[in-house]
Amino acid sequence: MDLATATQLVAKYLSERFEILPEKITPAANLFKDLRLDSIDALDMIAILENDHGLKVVEEELMKLRTVQDVVNYVMRHMPAPA
């Protein structure tokens, strides 16, 4: 998955599932301080991506996700290649 596609996917989920205004979803936005998610919200987002798109979950990396860019990078590393 390329950067633009991963960024759009993450922004879509943040906007639709958590009702975050699109203008607040920037690469440097902190998930917890800027976007007001809690740790359960962040895990829910990854679980949704896992269910909807087959995203591989690597638990050791989940604890390191702090910014929108961290999530985008995670998605790029762990999203299965299209068939």
In this structure, which topology does domain 3-78 adopt according to CATH?
A: 1.10.1200
Q: What is the pLDDT of residue 39?
A: 84
pTM of the entire predicted model = 0.90
With a CB cutoff of 8 Å and minimum separation 6, the contacts of 73 are 6
Return the structure tokens found at 33: 């301080």
pLDDT value of residue 10:
95
pLDDT at 57: 87
CA distances from residue 5 to 20, 36, 75 in whole angstroms, order as listed: 19, 24, 10
Of 61, 73, 60, 62, whose CA–CA distance to 28 is shortest? 73
Give dist(CA 52, CA 21) in Å, integer.
Answer: 22
pLDDT of residue 23: 96
pLDDT tens track, the chain, 83 positions: 899 999 999 999 999 999 999 999 999 999 999 999 998 898 888 888 899 989 988 888 888 999 999 999 999 999 888 76
